[in-house]
Amino acid sequence: MRLTFFGHSCFLLETDRARLLFDPYFTGNPLAPVAADAVGCDYILVSHGHEDHTCDALAIARRCDATLVANYEIAEYFAAQGAKTHGLNPGGGFNFPFGRVKLTLAHHTSSAEAGLKPIYLGVACGLLVSADGKNVYHAGDTALFLDLQLIGRAGLDAALIPIGDNYTMGPDDALVALDFLRPKLAIPMHYNTWPEIAQDGAAFATRAAAAGHAVRPLLPGESIVL
């Protein structure tokens, strides 16, 4: 399978039978190497409601006739706007034709802007995808938490983890997260998008290597084969 990074927490995972787009954020994303309408997908996987994870979800879902997979509240929110959706809740998974998506815990908030007050859209989640004999975990936005150990028990071929600090765990906590998750490969995300989450991905990879973890920072637009 092929994984492409679009900056922030936005990735495209191309499996044998479907293209999965995680947390679409092209419009207004200073790191995005392409525009939202340049990307095609069959499924859109959304970790939580915040704008920097959902802003292009509806337009892409409509244009590609893609199914949006997220927590129940986010699924209903986008279904009401005409998207095809599949709602889950943490701990639950579903076997799609391409493989399985399971929602995992995350410690973060989940809301959408709606006039003066945000509306709340369930809880923030992580996304565990099993396809083509591999497990890929997208942590969403999260703090460090001990139950990451349970997610790691699945045996992770790749873990996409936030390192930006301020809104999510920063590099120090992300190193502990790697001890809990023990993925074959980790890819840092949710950093360098704005000044308050500026981090050095290469320095993080060096520190992780000293602790026995393989970390590969990707440039926006870069792809790797898992």
Q: Quick one: which of 141, 156, 171, 178 contacts Mn ion (CB under 5 A)?
A: 141
Q: Contact 89/124 with Cβ under 8 angstroms?
A: no
Q: Write out 165-205 in H/E/C secondary structure.
A: CCCCCCHHHHHHHHHHHCCCEEEEECCCCCHHHCCCHHHHH
Q: Which is nearer to Mn ion, 166 or 206 (CB)?
A: 166
Rounded CA separation 62/59 (Å): 5
Closer by beta carbon to Ni ion, 73 or else 141: 141
CB of 31 to Ni ion, least distance (A): 16
- State which residue, 141 or 165, has the beta carbon closest to Ni ion: 141
- Phi/psi for 85 (5° steps) reads -135, 160
Site string for Mn ion, 170-209 (x = CB under 5 A): ----------------------------------------
Let me know: does 164 contact 197? Beta carbons within 8 Å. yes
Q: Which of 14, 23, 42, 52 binds Mn ion (CB under 5 A)?
A: 52
Provide φ and ψ at 224, rounded to 5°: -135, 155
Is 50 among the residues that bind Ni ion (CB under 5 A)?
yes
Contact positions vs Ni ion (CB under 5 A)? 50, 141
Contact positions vs Mn ion (CB under 5 A)? 50, 52, 141
